[in-house]
Homo-oligomer: A and B are copies of this chain.
Amino acid sequence: MPNSAQAQLVRQLESIATLTDEDRTQIAALPFHMKNVAQRHDVMQQGAKLTVCCLIVRGLACRYKLAHGGRRQILSLHLPGDMPDLQGLELDYMDHSIQAMSPCEVAYIPHQSMEALILGSPSLSRALRRHAAIDGSIFREWITNVGRRDALPRIGHLFCEVFTRSRALGLSDGRSFTLNLTQAEIADATGLSAVHVNRTLQALRGQHLISSRGSTHTILNVEALERVADFDAAYLHLLPPRAALMS
C-alpha cells in the first residue's frame, strides 16, 4: 500500500523526526475513515464542532479564513501526509476552514484514537507535537511574508516553500514541483489581487527565475530565487537528508 494514509503519514513524520518500528506499527493500527473530496470543496468548515483530525493523503489542501466582504485569506498549504488541524485536538470548534485545492483523498481520524496514540507512545507523541510546532513556524513566516515583503519576493517565497516541502517528501526532482493553484488562489495565499499576481508571475518568468507548464512549476535558478525571495529554509525545521548524514 504505497499510497495509503499510513504511508503518507509515516513519510511526513520521517521528514521531521525519527520513528521506531513500533511507531510505524501504531500508525498502521489507526482507524482511518477515507473520503474523496472534490476540488474546491471544504474538507472541514469554520465553526464546526471538532471530533476528528484529518490527514491529507493525496492532493493539495489549504486552510483559509474569510474577512469582511468575502475577501479570502489562505493561511497555509498542505501536502500529502500533513495533518492540518492536529492542534484542533485541544480545541472545541474549527476557527478556520480547510479546502481541497485539487481533488483530494482525506483520512479522518477520531480524536479519541489520536489521544490514545499520544498517550500510548511518547516518541510518536513527540513527532506529532513537532509536526504541529512546525505548522506554527510556517504561520510565523507567512505573517512576515504577507506583512513585510513586496509582491515579487512574496510570491517567490511561496514557491520556495512549496518547492522545499515537496522535495522533503520526495515529491519533486531537483527543480520542478506541482502546485495546483490558480492565480486567484495564489492571490488569496499572498494577500494580493489576482491581476497583480499575474503581472508578478510574468516578472518572475521574465527574470528567468521560474517557468510553468500547467500546474507544474520549474525553478530555473534555485539560489537566485531564494535570494530575491528572502527565503531561508530554517523555519521548516526539516531533518538533514540522509545523504548529508552519511558524509
Contact of A143 among B126, B132, B146 (CB under 8 A): B146
Asked if A75 and B144 sit within 8 Å, CB to CB, the answer is: yes
Is A185 part of the contact surface with B, judged by Cβ < 8 Å? no
Asked if B119 and A119 sit within 8 Å, CB to CB, the answer is: no
By a CB distance below 8 angstroms, the chain B residues around A93 are 234, 237
- Bound CA span A237–B90, Å: 10
Is A170 part of the contact surface with B, judged by Cβ < 8 Å? no
Closest to A191 in B: B147
| With A135-B136, A153-B68: A95-B234 Cβ-Cβ less than 8 Å | yes
Asked if B126 and A90 sit within 8 Å, CB to CB, the answer is: yes
Q: Chain A, 71-89, contact with B by CB distance < 8 Å: what is the 0/1 string?
A: 1110100000000000111
Closest to A16 in B: B90
Is A29 part of the contact surface with B, judged by Cβ < 8 Å? no
Asked if A89 and B140 sit within 8 Å, CB to CB, the answer is: no
Q: Which residues 175-227 of A sit at the B interface, judged by CB distance below 8 A?
A: 190-191
Asked if B95 and A137 sit within 8 Å, CB to CB, the answer is: yes
Q: How far is the CB of A19 from chain B (nearest CB, A)?
A: 15
Closest to A153 in B: B68
Q: Which residues 76-127 of A sit at the B interface, judged by CB distance below 8 A?
A: 87-93, 95-96, 119, 122, 126
Asked if B92 and A147 sit within 8 Å, CB to CB, the answer is: no
Q: How far is the CB of A161 from chain B (nearest CB, A)?
A: 13
Is A14 part of the contact surface with B, judged by Cβ < 8 Å? no
Asked if B67 and A148 sit within 8 Å, CB to CB, the answer is: yes
| With A133-B88, A136-B87, A235-B95: A143-B68 Cβ-Cβ less than 8 Å | no
By a CB distance below 8 angstroms, the chain B residues around A190 are 147
Asked if B65 and A141 sit within 8 Å, CB to CB, the answer is: yes
On A, residues with C-beta under 8 Å from B are 47, 63, 65, 67-68, 71-73, 75, 87-93, 95-96, 119, 122, 126, 129-130, 132-137, 139-144, 146-149, 153, 190-191, 230, 234-235, 237
Sample of 23 A–B contacts (CB below 8 Å): A47-B234, A65-B143, A65-B144, A67-B144, A67-B148, A68-B230, A73-B144, A87-B132, A89-B133, A90-B126, A90-B129, A91-B130, A91-B137, A92-B237, A95-B137, A95-B235, A96-B140, A119-B122, A129-B129, A132-B133, A135-B136, A136-B136, A142-B143
